[in-house]
Structures are given as structure tokens and as C-alpha cells.
């Protein structure tokens, strides 16, 4: 079967740049759903599992990974779970020491599918704005509890309910106002001395943006880039954010102790920031 990356590559090679927006719309509206449907049919007919796990439908996989491939979804989820554990080990807070864990922006369970193996002692929770993804998680991941959240706080959880909260590829898509709002909310649901782990687009992602946006990032330490690439898949406010380490250490320190900044240590691409709620 032709992979999504092959289709996208062929479109880019044979489509004039001025027609890219139209080509993306056609791909999202026609090609991607058809590809997802055929993969789902094959999964059912072949009783296919991935590393022993039944994965969410291909369309949910496509929304969170940009590809409907089960192998792609599975390998990234497993790597993210491993990278969470590695980052926590690096600050002397092994995953096995946490008792209540929240996956903020869990999607259809990409990391939670694997985190259970690494943290069998923990009470696991996940929350996301995507009701269809949460419905799948509730029906298929009985070892964790799931809820939906709105675009802005509050979450449905109590004060100081968790000792670990992680957010993979969430703050990579929020503007500065949204980011500050959610940092405050994550602080609220964390116990004193609890840890928050968030991932960001850092300096090694800067070559992905236009020169004018690079200049803004160099000047301000933060830039938020909007386009229509995710229209129809995500809300309009869900765009792409880039951070400098200095900006993170300055801004995030208003809410947490910034314990560590680890470049490109989430799936070899996104930067990992480890935060601790002050014992106040």
C-alpha cells in the first residue's frame, strides 16, 4: 500500500506551489479518509495487531501522527513512553516513583498504550479536547481513566491531584496567552514537588519557518505561526509555536521551577522541559 508520505511527496513534486493549499484540502478531504478506510478494513480482515496491541482507527492515528500507518503510530508511541522515562531518570525522579499520572492532550492514547508497561504502579489518567479520541480510549484502554477538556481551563481534576503531568506536542501548538493559561492550570492539578514534563519545538526546529518568523523568534524567544494546514482536523487556535530555551527558562519560571531543558529528546525531534511545582 502507498504510504501517506509517498502521496504527499508526489503531490509536492508535481503541484505548483501556488496550488499547495488546494492540494492539501483535497488530500485531507478525499485521499486521507479513503486511505484510512482501506487500512481499517485490512486491519479487521487480517485481525492485525501491532506489538500485541489493538490500535485506534486509522483516521484517529492520522489526526495525531499525520499518518494512518499502524506501525508508525505504534513505534512513535513506544518511543515517547521510553523518552518520558529517560527524562525522569535524568532528574532523579524515576517513573516508578509516581503514583498518579495525567497525560494532558492524550489524543487516542499514543503514549499511554505503552506507559502502562513502564508504570504498572501508577493510576493513569488522560484528557483531550477530541471527544472521538477519548471515546475510543474509554472503550479500549480500561487500565486508565479518561475525560474531555475545553480549549481553556479548568480541567475536571482536583487541586494537587497528580504527582506527574506530561504533555507531548501540546505546547507546540498554543499561542503565548493559551500557554500561560495552561501552565497555571497544570500547576494547580500538580502536588507540591510534583513534576510536569512538556515538549516544545526548540532551536533545532527553527529551519522549518520563514525568515521573518525566524527573526521574530530570535528577537522575542517565541513565535506563533498560523496557516490553514490543520483546518478541518483541529480548532483554528491550534497552530504551531516555537520557543527558545531562554524564553522557556524565563517565562515558565513564573509558574514552576525549571529543572531541566533537554533538546531533541522526545522522539529525536521535540525538546523536553522538566518542571517542578514549588512546595508553596
pTM here is: 0.86
Domain contains 222: yes
Q: Is residue 62 included in any domain, yes or no?
A: no
Residue in this structure with the C-alpha cell 480548532, named with its chain if needed: 235
Q: Are residues 29 and 147 in the same domain?
A: no
Q: In this structure, are 126 and 210 located in the same domain?
A: yes
Q: In this predicted structure, what is the pLDDT of residue 46? A: 84
Residues 36 and 130 in one domain: no
> Which helix H or strand E contains 151, and what residues bound it?
none
Query: Both 32 and 125 in a single domain?
Result: no
pLDDT tens, residue by residue, 260-279? 999 999 999 999 999 999 98
Residue identified by cell 514552576 is 256
Best-predicted range by mean pLDDT (189-193, 226-230, 231-235): 189-193
- Cα(112)–Cα(182) distance, integer angstroms: 21
- Give the pLDDT band (50/70/90) at residue 227: confident
Angle at 74 between CA 142 and CA 261, to 5 degrees: 95
- Would you say residue 59 lies in a domain? no
Q: Which domain does 132 fall in, by range?
A: 73-276
CATH number for the domain harbouring residue 105: 3.40.50.150
Do 44 and 83 have their domain in common? no
Is the domain of 204 the same as that of 124? yes
Q: For residue 54, name the pLDDT band (cuts at 50, 70, 90).
A: confident
Q: Domain count of the chain?
A: 2
35/125 same-domain check: no
Calculate the average pLDDT of the chain.
88
- Asked if 147 and 260 sit in the same domain, the reply is yes
119 and 239 fall within a common domain? yes
Answer whether residue 99 is part of any domain.
yes
Q: Are residues 38 and 89 in the same domain?
A: no
**CB-CB contact of 239 with 173 (8 Å):** yes
- The answer to whether residue 2 scores a pLDDT higher than 80 is no
Place of cell 492524550: 106
Q: Provide the pLDDT for residue 24.
A: 57
Question: Is 136 found in the same domain as 8?
Answer: no
* Domain assignment present for 198: yes
Amino acid at each position: 500500500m502507498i504510504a501517506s508520505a509517498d502521496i504527499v511527496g508526489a503531490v509536492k513534486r508535481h503541484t505548483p506551489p501556488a496550488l499547495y493549499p488546494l492540494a492539501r484540502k483535497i488530500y485531507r478531504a478525499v485521499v486521507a479518509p479513503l486511505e484510512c478506510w482501506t487500512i481499517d478494513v485490512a486491519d479487521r480482515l487480517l485481525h492485525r495487531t501491532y506489538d500485541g496491541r489493538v490500535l485506534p482507527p486509522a483516521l484517529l492515528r492520522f489526526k495525531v501522527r499525520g499518518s494512518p500507518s499502524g506501525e508508525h503510530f505504534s513505534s512513535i508511541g513506544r518511543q515517547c513512553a521510553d523518552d518520558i522515562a529517560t527524562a525522569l531518570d535524568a532528574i532523579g525522579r524515576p517513573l516508578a516513583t509516581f503514583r498518579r499520572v495525567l497525560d494532558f492532550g492524550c489524543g487516542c492514547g499514543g503514549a499511554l498504550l505503552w506507559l502502562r508497561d513502564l508504570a504498572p504502579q501508577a493510576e493513569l489518567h488522560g484528557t483531550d479536547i477530541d471527544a472521538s479520541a477519548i471515546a475510543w480510549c474509554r472503550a479500549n484502554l480500561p487500565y486508565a481513566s479518561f475525560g474531555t477538556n475545553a480549549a481553556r481551563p479548568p480541567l475536571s481534576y482536583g487541586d494537587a491531584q497528580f504527582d506527574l503531568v506530561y504533555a507531548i506536542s501540546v505546547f507546540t501548538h498554543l499561542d503565548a496567552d493559551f500557554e500561560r493559561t495552561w501552565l497555571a492550570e497544570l500547576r494547580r492539578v500538580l502536588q507540591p514537588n510534583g513534576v510536569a514534563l512538556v515538549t516544545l519545538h526548540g532551536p533545532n526546529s527553527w529551519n522549518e519557518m520563514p525568515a521573518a518568523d525566524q527573526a521574530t523568534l530570535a528577537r522575542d524567544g517565541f513565535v506563533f505561526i498560523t496557516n490553514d494546514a490543520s483546518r478541518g482536523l483541529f480548532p483554528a487556535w491550534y497552530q504551531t509555536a516555537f520557543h527558545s530555551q531562554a524564553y522557556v527558562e524565563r517565562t515558565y519560571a513564573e509558574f514552576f521551577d525549571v529543572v531541566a531543558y533537554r533538546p531533541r529528546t522526545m522522539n529525536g525531534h521535540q525538546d523536553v522541559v522538566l518542571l517542578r511545582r514549588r512546595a508553596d
